[in-house]
Amino acid sequence: MSLLSKSVHEIHNGLKKGEFSARELTQASIDRIQAVDQEVQAFLHLDEEGAVQRAEEIDKQIAAGKQLSMLTAIPMGIKDNICTKDLFTTCGSQILANYKAIYNATVIEKLDKVGANLIGKTNMDEFAMGSSTENSSFFPTKNPWDLKRVPGGSSGGSAAAVAAGEVCFALGSDTGGSIRQPASFCGVVGLKPTYGRVSRFGLVAFASSLDQIGPLTNTVDDAAVILEAIQGYDDRDNTSATIAPTSYRDSLTGDIKGLRVGVPKEMMGSGIDETVREQIKGALTQLEKMGAVIDEVSLPHSQYAVATYYLIAPAEASSNLARFDGVRYGVRREGIDLIDLYHETRSQGFGDEVKRRVMLGTYALSSGYYDAYYRKAQQARTLISQDFEAIFADYDVVIGPTAPTTAFALGEQIDDPLTMYINDVCTIPVNLAGLPAISLPCGMANGLPVGLQIIGKAFDEATILRVAHAYEQESASIGKPVIGGVSA
């Protein structure tokens, strides 16, 4: 196992014992990226010089006896829609190809404070709109398990970077499954916190009522460590929740005896690949052996979740993306007048999927159609939330597959938007309800990872982490992918 594929706790202990320096740890990340990223293409931009300088400063602090936090010197990747001061923040789009942020997102400030070391910005579907990272306007990212397959999206670069052993953890954003689905496809852990648990300040908005930042990691314990670091109220984000920070690692007891698990029949029926379903059933059997009580439940309105999402999210996107006009920042395409400048900038700067969603959203909000589409979608969203509330009156967690299939081939679905949208059928209801959920590996199907999704009550990340950690400790590891003849 390479250094970067070890848990954060293991690396922290090695650093504390002097088994390696922060400089050596950083160089291991840079070397791994240089060795494999030409094939994987997880990163859009690297900050090698800055990362080395930060590592050398950390080594000086260690030599001076400074106390190490759990994340001191840990190499990380950051999805390229999270602002990092003086570094490119392109959102995977040509319209922001030359944009460098003038401030750090709150999550970056928090990770800087505990000493995590930014290696670079990871690839993504343009403006987080996609489920395969093929919608990046720069290049598609490849799945480290099979370079002919997608890593999932829209946080595919972050998931692939962790799976390939290029960094110890990465941040992504999840609007309809964009952390959990790539985590499933790439065989890593992906955590979407409760809406409001983590500040969105500095996250370039796609759909403001759905977006949430979260970690992609090698282990559940690592996810708990990262969430502890980035959680908390932020007065710069008016959707930030005034909930006291939690020590999540304290909840990783391994004990789930008596835990009540609801398994929605809608997530285990038609549309779910049989090989995926069998792995989920195996995981449920394992949880039952560990003392959990498993029952079938129903989310009757989840059948409307994808349609609901593809009205609400595009509507919010059409508003949020109006700021990209070629005037204030980003790339400008000249026109004969102001309207023509807007037209040229947006037609050349936005990709097809972004244009598709902006047009869908603008239509849904337009005069005469608002009540028929957007208002109706908001009513359906309430019903979906109420379905979860009814289940959580009797159950501690809801469990099912993260994605209906394993990773599909590059190019297989890119020209079929409706099929692509169905990839998020198991994850979208969670975003609509604002709940926390985690995806972790639960086996392999046809040589590719399968993700188990554990959904919890609002602001009860502690329970889903406890269940995920307990399962992880009792299940067989899927190992790591081999790239260029070398295992991650």
- Domains in the chain, CATH or no CATH each: 8-261+394-480 (3.90.1300.10)
The confidence score (pLDDT) of residue 344 equals: 86
State the DSSP H helix or E strand holding residue 51, giving kind and residue range, or none if neither.
Answer: helix 48-63
Is 142 annotated as catalytic?
A: no
pTM, full prediction: 0.96
Quote the pLDDT of residue 429. 98
pLDDT score of 48 more than 70: yes
pLDDT of residue 483: 86
Tokens at 432, concatenated: 């609509």
273/364 Cα distance (integer angstroms) = 32
The strand pair at 213-217 and 189-192 is best described as: antiparallel
Amino acid, single-letter form, for residue 470? A
> Which of left, alpha, beta for 326 (phi over 0: left; psi -120 to 50: alpha)?
left
List Cβ neighbours of 442 (8 Å cut-off, separation of 6 or more). 279, 280, 282, 283, 450, 451, 452, 471, 475
pLDDT of residue 5: 81
Out of 5, 131, 136, 154, pick the active-site residue: 154
Q: Of 93, 155, 158, 178, which one is the catalytic site residue?
A: 178
pLDDT value at 30 more than 70? yes
Q: How far apart are the first and last CA of the chain?
A: 7
Q: In whole angstroms, what is the distance from residue 97 CA to residue 79 CA?
A: 15
Residue 119 has pLDDT above 90, yes or no: yes
Cα distances (angstroms) measured from residue 240 to each of 80, 131, 427: 21, 26, 22
Mean pLDDT of 89-96: 97
| Per-residue pLDDT, 428 | 98
* Residue 24 pLDDT > 70: yes
Rounded (5°) CA angle 130-221-26: 75
* Strands 486-487 and 482-483, bridge-based pairing: antiparallel
Tokens 């977006």 belong to 211
- In 10 A of CB 165, how many CB atoms? 27
| Digit-coded pLDDT (tens) for 211-260 | 999 999 999 999 999 999 999 999 999 999 999 999 999 999 999 999 99
Catalytic residue, candidates 79, 121, 457, 480: 79
What is the distance between the alpha carbons of residues 270 and 425, in angstroms, rounded to a whole number?
12
Helices (H) and strands (E) in the chain, counts: 15, 13
DSSP SS3 for 86? coil
Residue 26's alpha-carbon distances to 48, 91, 168, 313, 482, in angstroms, are: 9, 25, 10, 38, 21
Question: What's the DSSP call for residue 71?
Answer: T
Dist CA 209 CA 378 (whole Å): 11
- Tokens in use for 44? 């859009």
pLDDT of 68 strictly over 70: yes
Alpha-carbon Rg for the chain, nearest whole angstrom, is: 21
DSSP β-ladder status, 75-79 and 117-122: parallel
> For 193, phi and psi rounded to 5 degrees?
-70, 165
**pLDDT the model gives residue 418:** 84
Active site residue 93: no
pLDDT score for 485: 65
Q: Report, as an integer, the average pLDDT of 25-47.
A: 97
For the chain, give the percent of residues with pLDDT over 90.
88
* Amino acid 484: pLDDT: 66
Q: What is the mean pLDDT of residues 341-364?
A: 92
- Asked whether the beta carbons of 296 and 288 are under 8 A apart, the reply is no
Q: Is the pLDDT of residue 10 over 80?
A: yes
Instruction: Give me the mean pLDDT over the 3-14 stretch.
Output: 92
* pLDDT number for residue 337: 87
Mean pLDDT (whole number) for 15-42? 97
Q: Is 178 a catalytic residue?
A: yes
pLDDT over threshold 80, residue 2: no
